[in-house]
Structure 1
């Protein structure tokens, strides 16, 4: 097991380097001057050159990349062009909000997805299976930003049960674990949970149905094993694949929530990326993408290790 974990960690290192390189190049290949947002319209060439030198934009791209990686390894992701504040502080505040939203959505989506998938897989080709499958297809098919707008219209505008935007009263971003603040988490979490719920339901349904048709399940029943014991074996055999899917979906929720956070004005990395893109804030854009990519890579590493712990065949292969 330790050798397997060591191999996975070694494999992650070039992936992280490649992610950092792609992130750096894609941002710099985008058209436009990032200093337009802070330079006055009548700025002189000397002022523009001085400001470009202060941010390191006057150096060759390989030098910029090397310096950026070196500073990032020491916890310095640069300074935001738009706000003048350290990028790391801006990103970590947004990451904490996104992680809270993603974990809440994951609890809702994964719980519903596993429950519906197991029920549909155990009762295939019945009305229960058709209902669960319909819910899963609807969850996958409906665009989440459209679902968010519909939920706001119903629960915020018409019923006035839940707040529409923000993370706290009066637009405050200071979080507290009470019902006043939790109300702001409900609609974006439900919206974000829809797609993972549908994907996991369909995956678990297919896994459960396939495993139940295998010979070892019939052998367990022939030995007189109780159905609860058989069910545990089915779940254990389906767990590695289901965990891989859940890990990917959690990674997507951490990194792909830009539309949902924009709809609900949730102060996470999605909203931060949105503002950084429109303001051409290169340091903030690079830092946010890098942190999200690292989260995704490390999350997949943890899923690989967890899979090997559940199914020893993976570590021996």
Structure 2
């Protein structure tokens, strides 16, 4: 009889939720930094605060629902944060309880919360979002030993997507250029799987870049990894060409079959090679962190 797979924390879910929390928190902090009179009398600000307060609370709830399921805690919307906080040993649970009660009072339009009351409450208690997130992150790090919050399930999944996509593109390329040109379905097939491979590699980059200390990046994530030495410098042009081809394929411009075929012959092997280099750098990073601890 097969054993039931043990539930584990989904690191990406927790990280993504708290990133969303951070965005809402920053906006809320900016709003409550206004003079009270300006806050109270500015309808636009009050509308934005309502949206950000809801988004911030829901970000915490998303984490709470997930962790409660993993930990076997029976919770409801109104007590989830408090029960989880108690379980993980968070300080100021009573303050979090009052914070939660205020939120539901504020959310329930039947119970009016004046702008002045809202302003003063957030001014004093907004930090509870930060405290909750900090306590959760520390608990997850300590209980899993995953101090960098690396989602290995995500990395393995994306690596598999890359490997499978590279194989499918290779199959088409082995048919030869003339066969490739004569069958439009081959063009569509390699175009699709190339994009799957690239997007998967980019997802790996997005997840790991902050772990390596790369704080600011966008579409240039892979290039930033080359600059930081995570991907060796010798891959600089490969990364440039991979990105350039991806941009061509998603644009309205049609890449000629001959050009696409030759580009893929050159670039398709680079995906797994780059993944291996990132893996080496990650292993080194984890070893360094292990020694420091």
TM-score bin (small chain): under 0.3
TM-score (norm 2): 0.26
Higher relative contact order (CA 8 A, sep 6+): 1
